[in-house]
Structure 1
Amino acid sequence: MSMTLNELAQLRDSGFGQPCPRHGLNLLYWFAKDCVDIDIDGHMVPKFSLKRGTYGFHPFYNRIDNNNTPLPNQNLPKYEVGNLSAPGAKKLPLHVRKKYTSRCNDSNKDRIIVCLNDDGYFDGVYVAEHTDQMGFSRSHTYRVSQGLLEIIKGLEREEFLQQMKPTHHQRQSYHEVQPGVKPTHSERPSEDDSWCIIL
C-alpha cells in the first residue's frame, strides 16, 4: 500500500522531484492548478478529458513486473502524465519542461498517475518515479491526498517550490551520494532553482 502524503512537509521529505534536473515538483504544481477542479460536493474533477492525450496523458496499465506493481490493483481506469517525450507533452508549461535534456539523466524520471472512478472523478492521485525505462519504484510511489492538492492549489509556484527546499540533512545526503561533484557551468544555480542543485 502506498503511503499517503497529506502535508507539504511529507511531500518535501519524500524526495519526489528532487534534485534537479527532475521535474516532478513543477509537474505536480501544474497538475494541482490546471488539471483538477473541486466540485460543489467536494469531488476532484478533471478539467478536461484524459482520453484525448492532452498534455501527454495516456493509459497506465499498472503492469506487474517482478511482483512490483506500483499501485493498488483496483479495476479502475488509470492515466499517466509527465513523460516529456510523449506526444502532447510540448503543451506542458515551460517551467515543467525547461530542464529536460532528452538524454539519459533524471530530467524525465517523474510521473503523476491518476485513477478515475465510474463517475469520472479522480479516485486516486499518485506521484511516482521510474526505476528504468519501463518500471516504477514501488517504494517511491506515493498517494497525494485531496487536502494536499488543495494546499498546493492555494500557493504561488515560487512559494510552493520554496517550501519544497530540502532540509540541511537532505542536502547533505545528496552530497554524500555524489561526493566531490561540483556543479558545471550549466548546473550553476539560478535564482529560482539553486536549492535543488547537487552540492
Structure 2
Amino acid sequence: MKSLWCLLLSLSLVIAADIQTLGSIKDLEGKAFGQHFPHHGLMLLHWFASLIDIDENNIIRFKKQSFDPVTNFPFHPYENDAKSLPKIIQTRKRAYFSVGNLKNGLVGQLPSYVTQEFYNSQSYEDRNRDRIVVVIDAWYAPVRIDQVYITQDSINSHPNGTEGDSHPTYQASPQLLRQIATLRNPLDCRNTFLKEIFPHLDFSLTIAENMFSEPGLALFLALAGYNLQGRYNISMETWYCPTSQSLQERKALCDTSRQDLEVKTSQQGKALISWRGLPSSILKTHTTVALFQREGCNGPLTEVRIDGEVAGTRETTVPFNPGLQVRLIKQDLGDTVIWWGPEVDDADGRVPVQIKDKDASLQLFARDGYAHARVYIKKTFTQWKEEFFNAWVGFYSSAADCNENYLSGQWQWVTKFSKVSPDLFSKFYIYEYASGTSIAPGVQLRFFLRDYDEGARTLPWE
C-alpha cells in the first residue's frame, strides 16, 4: 500500500511538473488561450483578477460578494476527467471548480465584456472553449484559492455541461494575477503616458481602446499578445466601416468602445430596453433594436426604430424574464442581426449570499416581472428545518428601509417555500417563493433567523 501511494504521488508530481507556470502577462503571449476572436479566455482572466485579493504571502482569496462558499457560484464542479491537472485529494471542502462555460444558461452569470464575443460569433464552433479552473479550499474562512489554471475545453463538450478532453493547460501565478488586477487602475495613467511606457504598443493599444472600454482590458490584451488587428478587422466589417479612410477618421466614425445593448427592469416589472454608444457608421442607416426571448423562434417580442439616436431607452409591455436579449437589426440587409446584446440572467448575475455561518444561501431573482426568493440548502445540512423553524424572508423596496418596513404582506416563512428540482446544483436542495412585488430597481431580500435577527441580505436589484 505504501508503494502504491508513493507511485501515485510521483505520478501527480510528474503531471504538475509538465504544467508551465505563467509568471507575468508577457508569458501569455503565444499561448493557446484566448488569443484571438472568438475566444473569451483573456477577457475571462481579466474578470477573474477583479474578483480576488492577493496578500503579501501570495495567498489568494475572493473579495466579498464575488463568490458564494455554499453553492460555489459562479464556479461549477470540475471532474478533471482528462487528467490534465495535478491529482488532488478531493473532499467536501477542497475540490476543482471551473468557470467559463457559456452554454446551458450560464452565459448570463458573467459580465458582457466577457460574453460579447460568444454572442457575436454564432457560426464559430470553437467559441466556448476557454476555462479557468481553480482549487478551492473551504476549510479556510474566507475560502482560499490554492491554484489557478487556464485551459481549453474540447469543442465537443458533454451535453450536461461537464468538461471534455482538455487542451494545453497553464498555471496562473499570483504574480500574473496581481499584474492583471493592477492594470485596472495603473496610477490613473493617461493614455499618452501609457504609450510612453509601452512604445511598442502604440498602434495596438489605440485599436484596443477603440473596441474595449472595461478599465485595464485594452492594455492587458495588448500586453498579452491578443490578435488585436484581426479583431479590429472583424469590428470594421461588423459596423460597416470604410477601409479607405485614415485610422483617426475610422476611429471617429466607428468608435465602438462605449457600445452597449441591455435589458433592465422598469418600476412595473416590465422589460426596459436601452442602447448607447452605437458607432456613427450605422446610425444613419435603417436600424432597429429588437427584444427577443432566448428560447423563442417566432421573431422579436417588440422592436424600436433607432432613427439616428446615439442612445435611448424604451419601456415595453413584456414582463421581465430570464433569457431576454436585445439585438441590433439592419433592416436594409433583410433584417440581418449585426450585434447581439447579453441575455438576461434570472438573478442579474448576482452571487447568492451566505446565511450567517450556515450551509445555506439566499438569492433574489426575477420571473414573469415579479421578485422571487431562492434559498439553497446543502444536503449535508440535515437539521436546517429545525434551525430555520422561525426563519422568514422579507421583500424591501430599498436598502434604506429599516427591517420592520418590509413591503406590505410580502414575506414568507422559509419552511413554507416550495421545493424545486435542481439543475446544476445537485448537491443542494433549492426552495423558492414567488412574491406579488414587481421586480424593480432597489428591491432587496432579507433573511431573518427569528424575529428581526438578520442572517443575510441581498444587494439591491439594479
TM-score normalised to the size of structure 1? 0.74
Q: 1:149 to 1:187 in 2, by over 3 A?
A: farther
1:1-199 equivalences in 2 (<5 Å): 1=16, 2-33=19-50, 35-39=51-55, 42-47=58-63, 48-49=67-68, 51-52=70-71, 54-55=73-74, 57-63=75-81, 68-75=82-89, 76-101=94-119, 105-117=125-137, 118-119=139-140, 120-132=143-155, 133=157, 134-138=163-167, 140-155=168-183, 156-166=216-226, 185-186=237-238
Separation in 1, partners of 2:225, 2:240: 16
Q: 1:82 to 1:28 in 2, by over 3 A?
A: same
SS at match of 1:115: strand
Residues 38-47 or 111-120, more deviating:
38-47
> Which amino acid is 2:130 matched to?
D
Separation in 2, partners of 1:187, 1:109: 26
The answer to whether the Cα contact below 8 Å between 1:54 and 1:88 also exists between their aligned partners in 2 is: no
Greater RCO, CA 8 A, separation 6+: 1
> Which amino acid is 1:154 matched to?
T
Separation in 2, partners of 1:85, 1:121: 27
> Which amino acid is 2:73 matched to?
T
Partner deviation per Cα, 1:124-165 (whole Å, 9 max, x = no partner): 000010123142434x11100011000000011121112123
Note the residue ranges of structure 1 that are not aligned, 5 or more in a row: 175-181, 194-199
Separation in 2, partners of 1:164, 1:20: 14
The answer to whether the Cα contact below 8 Å between 1:8 and 1:164 also exists between their aligned partners in 2 is: yes
> Which amino acid is 1:19 matched to?
H
The structure richer in helix per residue is 1
Q: Which residue of 2 aligns with 1:177?
A: none
SS at match of 2:118: coil
Note the residue ranges of structure 2 that are not aligned, 5 or more in a row: 1-15, 158-162, 184-215, 242-253, 258-462
Q: 1:166 to 1:97 in 2, by over 3 A?
A: closer
Partner deviation per Cα, 1:91-148 (whole Å, 9 max, x = no partner): 311110101146552221100000023322111000010123142434x111000110
The structure richer in strand per residue is 2
Q: 1:18 to 1:135 in 2, by over 3 A?
A: same
Separation in 1, partners of 2:108, 2:226: 29
Moved runs in structure 1, 4+ residues, more than 6 A?
A: 187-193
Q: 1:165 to 1:137 in 2, by over 3 A?
A: same
The answer to whether the Cα contact below 8 Å between 1:3 and 1:143 also exists between their aligned partners in 2 is: yes
> Which amino acid is 2:164 matched to?
G
The answer to whether the Cα contact below 8 Å between 1:82 and 1:110 also exists between their aligned partners in 2 is: yes
Q: Percent identity?
A: 30
> Which amino acid is 1:15 matched to?
A
The answer to whether the Cα contact below 8 Å between 1:125 and 1:143 also exists between their aligned partners in 2 is: yes
SS at match of 2:80: coil
The answer to whether the Cα contact below 8 Å between 1:110 and 1:130 also exists between their aligned partners in 2 is: yes
Partner deviation per Cα, 1:40-94 (whole Å, 9 max, x = no partner): 6542012322542533x1111111xxxx411101114111000112444303111
Task: Say how many residue pairs are matched.
Answer: 175
SS at match of 2:219: helix
The answer to whether the Cα contact below 8 Å between 1:50 and 1:79 also exists between their aligned partners in 2 is: no
Residues 141-150 or 81-90, more deviating:
81-90
